[in-house]
Structure 1
Amino acid sequence: MQSTAIFSDLKVIELASVLAGPSVGQFFAELGAEVIKVENPETGGDVTRSWKLASEPADSDMSAYFMSVNAGKASVLLNLKKREDLERLYDLVKTADIVIASYKPGDAEKLGVCYADLKAFKPDLIYGHITGFGAEENRVGYDAIVQAESGFVFLNGEKDGKPQKMPVALTDVLAGHQLKEGLLLALIKRMKNGEGSYVTVSLMEAAISSLVNQATNWLVAGQVPQRLGSEHPNIAPYGNIFKTADDQWLMIAVGSDRQFRALCDILELRDLPQRPEFTTNATRVKNRELLKPILESAFSLVDIDRLCSAFLTADIPYGRVNTMDQVFATPQGKAMVLQTLRNGLVQNGLRQVAFRMGEGLVAGGVKAAPRLGENERA
Structure 2
Amino acid sequence: MESRKLFCGVRVIELASVLAGPGVGQFFAELGADVIKVENPASRGDVTRTWKLKDEADGDVSAYFASINWGKKSIGLDISEKVGLEILYKLISKADIVIASYKPGDAEKLGVDYQSLRKIKKDLLYGKITGYGSDNPKVGYDAIIQAEAGFMSMNGDPDGKPVKMPVALMDVLAGHHLKEALLLAYIHRLKTGEGNEVSVSLIEAAVASLVNQGTNWLIAGKVPSRQGSSHPNIAPYGDIFTSKDQREIILAVGTDRQFSSLCNCLGLSNLCSDELYKNNAVRVRNRQDLFALLQAAISTYESKELIHELNKLKVPVGIVQSVNEALEMPEVKSLMLEGHAVRGIATFAGHFHNEKEKNPHLSPPPHFGAQTREILSAELLMSDDEIQNLQNLSIIA
Fold match (TM-score > 0.5): yes
Aligned counterpart, 1:70: 69
Contact kept, 8 Å, 2:334 with 2:358, in 1: the verdict is no
Aligned counterpart, 1:33: 33
**For residues 117 and 6 of structure 1, what CA distance do their matches in structure 2 show?**
29
Q: CA deviation at 1:348?
A: 1.5
Q: CA deviation at 1:335?
A: 1.6
The one-letter amino acid paired with 2:263 is C
**For residues 322 and 263 of structure 2, what CA distance do their matches in structure 1 show?**
28
Two-structure CA RMSD over aligned residues (Å): 1.5
| 2:371 corresponds to which of 342, 363, 375 | 375
Deviations 1:152-193 (A, max 9, x none): 011111111111000100000000100111111111000000
Q: CA deviation at 1:364?
A: 2.6
Contact kept, 8 Å, 1:6 with 1:362, in 2: the verdict is no
The one-letter amino acid paired with 1:64 is A
Question: Percent same amino acid at aligned positions?
Answer: 52
Aligned counterpart, 1:55: 55
Aligned counterpart, 1:83: 82
Contact kept, 8 Å, 1:3 with 1:363, in 2: the verdict is no
Q: CA deviation at 1:89?
A: 0.6
Contact kept, 8 Å, 1:31 with 1:362, in 2: the verdict is no
Contact kept, 8 Å, 1:5 with 1:364, in 2: the verdict is no
The one-letter amino acid paired with 2:367 is R
Aligned counterpart, 2:381: none
Summarize the alignment of residues 141-290 of structure 1 with structure 2, pairs less than 5 Å apart. 141-290=140-289
- Structure 2 gap ranges (5+): 376-397
Summarize the alignment of residues 121-132 of structure 1 with structure 2, pairs less than 5 Å apart. 121-132=120-131
For residues 4 and 153 of structure 1, do their structure 2 counterparts lie closer, same or farther at Cα, with a shift above 3 Å needed?
closer
Structure 1 window deviating more from structure 2 (120-129 vs 295-304): it is 295-304
SS in 1 for 2:75: strand
Aligned counterpart, 1:14: 14
For residues 3 and 177 of structure 1, do their structure 2 counterparts lie closer, same or farther at Cα, with a shift above 3 Å needed?
closer
**For residues 358 and 110 of structure 2, what CA distance do their matches in structure 1 show?**
34
SS in 2 for 1:56: coil
Q: CA deviation at 1:358?
A: 3.5
Deviations 1:348-373 (A, max 9, x none): 21101210124469653211100011
**For residues 359 and 255 of structure 1, what CA distance do their matches in structure 2 show?**
34
Structure 1 window deviating more from structure 2 (5-14 vs 356-365): it is 356-365
The one-letter amino acid paired with 2:47 is V
TM-score where L is the length of structure 1 = 0.96
SS in 1 for 2:5: coil
Deviations 1:265-306 (A, max 9, x none): 111112222221111100010111111111111111100111
**For residues 66 and 168 of structure 2, what CA distance do their matches in structure 1 show?**
15
Aligned counterpart, 2:43: 43
**For residues 197 and 171 of structure 1, what CA distance do their matches in structure 2 show?**
24
Equivalent pairs counted in the alignment come to 372
SS in 2 for 1:64: coil
The ranges of structure 1 where at least 4 consecutive aligned residues each deviate by more than 4 angstroms after the TM superposition are 360-363
Summarize the alignment of residues 307-318 of structure 1 with structure 2, pairs less than 5 Å apart. 307-318=306-317
**For residues 83 and 47 of structure 1, what CA distance do their matches in structure 2 show?**
23
Structure 1 window deviating more from structure 2 (3-12 vs 204-213): it is 3-12
SS in 2 for 1:38: strand
**For residues 309 and 4 of structure 2, what CA distance do their matches in structure 1 show?**
46
Q: CA deviation at 1:3?
A: 11
SS in 2 for 1:271: helix
The one-letter amino acid paired with 2:56 is E
SS in 2 for 1:316: coil
**For residues 363 and 170 of structure 1, what CA distance do their matches in structure 2 show?**
24
TM-score where L is the length of structure 2 = 0.91
